[in-house]
Amino acid sequence: MEVVFIAVDLNSALVSNRSVSGDVYEVLKSDIINLVLKPGQYISENEIAKLFNISRTPVKSAFLRLMSEGFIEIKPQRGTYVTLLDLEMIKQIIYLRTVVETDVFFTAIDLMNDDMLEMINKNLTEQKNLMDTADFAPSSFYKLDSEFHSMIYDYIGRQKLWEMIQGLQVFYTRFRMLDIVATSSFGTIYQEHLEMYKHIDSKDKAALKNDLNNHLSGNLKRLNHRIKDEFSEYFTTESTNNSNLQNHITRRNI
């Protein structure tokens, strides 16, 4: 039997959804996102049940929710595993966010007023303050980072769009967390946020578009060379690209 590490965050566990399975779900999801439960790691209904001193039923409920959200994979009669990160999916999410967020930020620039600038400024100050703190939790920075972006969606009345995109981030969230933890890229991210703020303020759309391009794929660039060795066991080994694109391009060039 393999050992399972579970970080039971009492803060979230005590905000009990008044259902045991809901608590289990929250704890497991949080542990997966924070990479406490590693991609590919084995977990079993029995172990979790013992750990929480409950029966298998609520554990199974939590597992089913996590499965349909893509966090775990249930192999019938074999076992359950935390899903590996799918690099192709991550790239597609980055692309999607880049395209959408460019349009969102442009709209924000058109509607901009002092309140918005002040709001962003406040967030940036919090980022800076956090980094000046000794031994801060990476997840705190992650939260502020997310807030920086969601504020803009919120400002132009598209907060639900942000929420929907969040639902797609099953793999990307862990990827961003891995970037933050493994490369300690707080400073870089913060600087990029500052840069973006400047260009929002000056309404320089071209520069902002460029910022977003670099910013959103920054983690990919930082981690890229470490994916194939150091973190290879966290990623799927899918055949890279089975699209028609290569064929088409090749054929065109003949």
Partner DNA sequence: TACAATCAACTTGAATACAAGAACACAAGA
Partner DNA sequence: TCTTGTGTTCTTGTATTCAAGTTGATTGTA
Instruction: Find the shortest distance in angstroms from Cβ 28 to DNA.
Output: 12
CB of 49 to a second copy, least distance (A): 16
Query: Does residue 46 bind DNA (CB under 7 A)?
Result: yes
Instruction: Identify whether the C-beta of residue 25 lies closer than 8 Å to the C-beta of residue 62.
Output: yes
95 forms part of the interface with a second copy (CB under 8 A): yes
What's the number of CA atoms in the CB half-sphere (13 Å) around residue 63?
21
Residues 201-240, interacting with a second copy (CB under 8 A): none
3-class secondary-structure state, position 110: helix
CB of 129 to DNA, least distance (A): 39
* Shorter beta-carbon distance to a second copy: residue 36 or 168: 168
Which is nearer to a second copy, 88 or 126 (by Cβ)?
88
Find where tokens 């980094």 sit: 131
Tokens linked to 67 = 């499965």
| Beta-strand relationship, 42-43 and 72-75 | unpaired
Q: What pairs with residue 75 in β-bridges?
A: 79
Interface pattern 98-127 for a second copy (x via CB under 8 A) = -xx--x-------x-x-xx-----------
Q: What gap in Å lies between CA 186 and CA 245, rounded to an integer?
A: 36
Cβ–Cβ contacts within 10 Å for residue 6, how many? 17
Window 155 to 194, contacts with a second copy (CB under 8 A): 155-161, 164-165, 167-168
21 is a contact residue toward DNA (CB under 7 A): yes
68 is a site residue for a second copy (CB under 8 A): yes
Q: Under the criterion CB under 7 A, does residue 20 sit at the interface with DNA?
A: yes
Q: Can you tell me the distance from the alpha carbon of 129 to that of 111, in angstroms, rounded to the nearest whole number?
A: 29
Sites of contact with DNA (CB under 7 A): 1, 19-22, 43-47, 54-58, 60-61, 74-80
